[in-house]
Structure 1
């Protein structure tokens, strides 16, 4: 069976000065989830040592981000996460499953200009769509809730912020458990020269129905570069789980290829 893999090549070490300036600006925008930048991240995740059979879960998140200008003062940022999953023995000796997971679109309404204190923010709804192709890959529920984001970028190249949302199920398969889940992601990034960024975040989530935390720490390194006429970002990193529900994974890896479409 076909399995998810990501092939990431190493970009050229040096760019012309004007290209480096462009790369630095794009790297800064990538650290801002509500920047006016069309991007298509292809994020590959692999988690290991899951459950009693030391199962493995591979996840390819296709995450297009599309900003739309609503007025002179406001943007609408549409962020969609479509997961493609391949997993082996994640529920004991449960065999392999492959297919789509549930889709989560988020709409952020965000001012184009930062506040007087330099803060960038956005608010809007988040949705849960039951698009999973296997009942073990999704919740089989429709859901909705609020989402909010706040961040600040300093002249010294630091980005600090937090993203949060909560989803309640509102319809779906009656035999499946209801959804009430909070996602909280504090993040910190240090922009370096040449379009490089070092990032840290906690992708913590709390299941209110199951009374359980899932708290992975992600450390990543990325670089903006150009292949032919296409601007893109290459990223890699590791993940360690501080807490997981049940016998969850110990650690994992992440590699991301992000296609960038800056305004011309």
Structure 2
């Protein structure tokens, strides 16, 4: 009886550890079949081709919801931005407000524990409260997402998006932006991991771009049916053109609500 009880306790412990390992593996999957709420912050302390005191700060609030038994995933993102720039006497003036809200819906044509791939339409609405932090026009485009978890130690993938202005007047400010976001995860054990998720942005309309690299650390904590994923990641741009982020600190928390 004692041996049987010890065996049961060991089996329960093993199952708990397996659940935590699976949670850690899927915690950074943007197409995970779970409702998720993410809060991400980019603090740009240095910009290229800009006065020394200039800065940017953007907080993204993202909500993701799987639909059609996980075949579709809807993600809505709302940015809250601040732009700081010095005037002629050195005083920093700040403009803050809501930026352009965007959403995409992904059709996950491959969706299993080790590989997820999806593609779908993207739309951005002209919701910015200040002209400096928005385009002022509707934008449409495409999003393509991949996530590979073949190994319990290493996961990787990417998010590729393209969007362009539609409608508007002939003399209105236009936008055409392509972005490539590779992400790479190295699990260290017990929910701790090294990470990188820089976004290479190409502002095609204005001949501007920035290509950052990033390396940070994160921690995944599973509490019953909820997974908390906290991280911080410094990023430095290898190449820039125009007034673009040179150094930024990317931090955030991802919250996934697992199915019972």
Q: TM-score range by the shorter chain?
A: 0.7 to 0.9
Give the TM-score, by structure 2 length.
0.83
- 4+ residue segments displaced more than 4 Å: 16-20, 90-94, 226-230
Q: What is the CA–CA distance in structure 2 between the aligned matches of 1:83 and 1:252, rounded to whole Å?
A: 16
Q: What is aligned with 2:179?
A: 183
Q: What is the CA–CA distance in structure 2 between the aligned matches of 1:90 and 1:168, rounded to whole Å?
A: 31
Q: Which has the higher helix share?
A: 2
| Shift in Å, 1:210 | 1.4
- State whether residues 146 and 157 of structure 2, in contact with CA within 8 Å, keep that contact through their aligned partners in structure 1: yes
- State whether residues 209 and 242 of structure 2, in contact with CA within 8 Å, keep that contact through their aligned partners in structure 1: no
| Shift in Å, 1:119 | 3.9
Q: What is the CA–CA distance in structure 1 between the aligned matches of 2:256 and 2:169, rounded to whole Å?
A: 38
Q: What is aligned with 2:244?
A: 248
* Structure 2 segments unaligned to the other structure (5+ residues): 1-12
Q: What is aligned with 2:108?
A: 110
Q: What is aligned with 2:20?
A: 23
* Structure 1 segments unaligned to the other structure (5+ residues): 1-15
- Bigger radius of gyration among the two: 2
Q: What is the CA–CA distance in structure 1 between the aligned matches of 2:220 and 2:169, rounded to whole Å?
A: 43
What is the correspondence of 1:82-231 to structure 2 with a 5 Å cutoff? 82-89=78-85, 95-111=93-109, 113-114=111-112, 119-172=115-168, 174-226=170-222, 231=227
Does the residue aligned with 2:30 lie in a helix, a strand or coil?
coil
Q: What is aligned with 1:36?
A: 33
Q: How many residues align?
A: 244
What is the correspondence of 1:40-59 to structure 2 with a 5 Å cutoff? 40-50=37-47, 51-59=50-58
- State whether residues 198 and 235 of structure 2, in contact with CA within 8 Å, keep that contact through their aligned partners in structure 1: no
Query: Aligned pair in 2 of structure 1 residues 91, 187: CA closer, same or farther (>3 Å)?
Result: farther
- State whether residues 132 and 140 of structure 1, in contact with CA within 8 Å, keep that contact through their aligned partners in structure 2: yes
Q: What is the CA–CA distance in structure 2 between the aligned matches of 1:91 and 1:21, rounded to whole Å?
A: 56
